[in-house]
């Protein structure tokens, strides 16, 4: 692995990191980027600015774990992951699937399943696409082919935890409405029994799903 250039996107060490294991394996270089400073972050850079910052310094390995659900413009972010990867380079991704609770750091938008990932990365050579055996999530290992032609993903809808349904995009209104809904729920939780509140939640989610 001595000639491998590794780029980790979303590298802030919150719940552990692959970095030390990969560096011990002898990577030629390891660069961790995130939108905030902290442990594991070498440079501040958004996923949507990767190509502007790091092409043509493309990487042999690109790693992103538990990030994509937080990226509102997921198409642009994933496009950058693909384009910052050199031919025959490997991309490793983990992210959350439907059923995993909302966790805003500071935002949370999307849930990906296995079929989504097969469609999203069908322009790469897929080596592994599998579900997380411990909680709702998915793992992808893919390799960029020598002859790369990028997919158009404009018509692919993902499940959003903001709208509670599959949609193409999340609007500012969607984000605001979810925030207001959360605030109302906090207020109601002070005056309603948990069983009543849970019933209201189920009815509300059902209405959103039918909207």
CATH code at 105?
Answer: 3.40.50.150
Closest CA to 126 of 134, 114, 118: 118
Read off the pTM: 0.84
Residues 148, 175, single domain; the answer is no
Q: Measured between alpha carbons, how far is 6 from 42 in angstroms, rounded to an integer?
A: 12
Closest CA to 132 of 99, 166, 109: 99
Q: What is the mean pLDDT of residues 175-185?
A: 73
Residue 134 lies in a domain: yes
User: What per-residue confidence (pLDDT) applies to 125?
Assistant: 98
Residue 37: domain span: 5-159
Residue 164 lies in a domain: no
Query: CB-based burial of residue 176 (10 Å sphere; 0-12 exposed, 13-18 middle, 19+ buried)?
Result: exposed
Written as six digits, the tokens of 91 are 């991309």
Q: Measured between alpha carbons, how far is 33 from 162 in angstroms, rounded to an integer?
A: 26
Q: How confident is the model at residue 166 (pLDDT cuts 50, 70, 90)?
A: very high
Residue 161 has pLDDT above 70, yes or no: yes
Residue 205 lies in a domain: yes
Residues 42, 113, single domain; the answer is yes
Q: Is the dihedral of CA 147, 153, 159, 163 positive or negative?
A: positive
Residues 191, 99, single domain; the answer is no
Q: Phi-psi bin for 210: left (phi > 0), alpha (psi -120 to 50), beta?
A: alpha
Residues 153, 187, single domain; the answer is no
Q: Measured between alpha carbons, how far is 125 from 141 in angstroms, rounded to an integer?
A: 9
Residue 68 has pLDDT above 50, yes or no: yes
Residue 165 lies in a domain: no
Q: How confident is the model at residue 55 (pLDDT cuts 50, 70, 90)?
A: confident
Q: How confident is the model at residue 187 (pLDDT cuts 50, 70, 90)?
A: low
Structural domains of the chain, count = 2
Residue 210 has pLDDT above 50, yes or no: no
Q: How confident is the model at residue 172 (pLDDT cuts 50, 70, 90)?
A: very high
Residues 105, 49, single domain; the answer is yes
Residues 176, 142, single domain; the answer is no
Residue 72 lies in a domain: yes
Residues 90, 31, single domain; the answer is yes
- Mean pLDDT, the chain, whole residue set: 88
Instruction: Output 185 or 166, whichever has higher pLDDT.
Output: 166
């Amino acid at each position: 692995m001595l000639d491998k250039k590794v780029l980790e996107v979303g590298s802030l060490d919150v719940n552990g990191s692959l970095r030390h294991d990969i560096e011990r394996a002898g990577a030629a270089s390891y660069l961790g980027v995130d939108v905030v400073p902290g442990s594991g972050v070498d440079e501040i850079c958004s996923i949507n600015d990767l190509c502007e910052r790091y092409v043509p310094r493309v990487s042999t390995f690109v790693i992103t774990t538990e990030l994509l659900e937080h990226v509102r413009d997921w198409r642009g972010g994933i496009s950058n992951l693909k384009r910052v990867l050199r031919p025959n380079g490997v991309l490793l991704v983990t992210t959350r699937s439907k059923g995993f609770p909302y966790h805003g750091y500071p935002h949370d938008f999307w849930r990906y399943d296995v079929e989504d990932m097969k469609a999203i990365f069908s322009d790469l050579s897929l080596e592994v696409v599998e579900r997380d055996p411990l909680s709702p999530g998915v793992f992808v290992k893919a390799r960029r082919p020598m002859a790369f032609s990028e997919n158009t993903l404009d018509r692919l809808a993902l499940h959003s935890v903001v709208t509670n349904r599959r949609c193409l995009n999340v609007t500012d209104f969607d984000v605001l409405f979810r925030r207001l809904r959360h605030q109302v729920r906090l207020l109601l939780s002070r005056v309603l029994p948990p069983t009543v509140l849970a019933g209201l939640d189920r009815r509300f989610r059902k209405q959103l799903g039918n909207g």
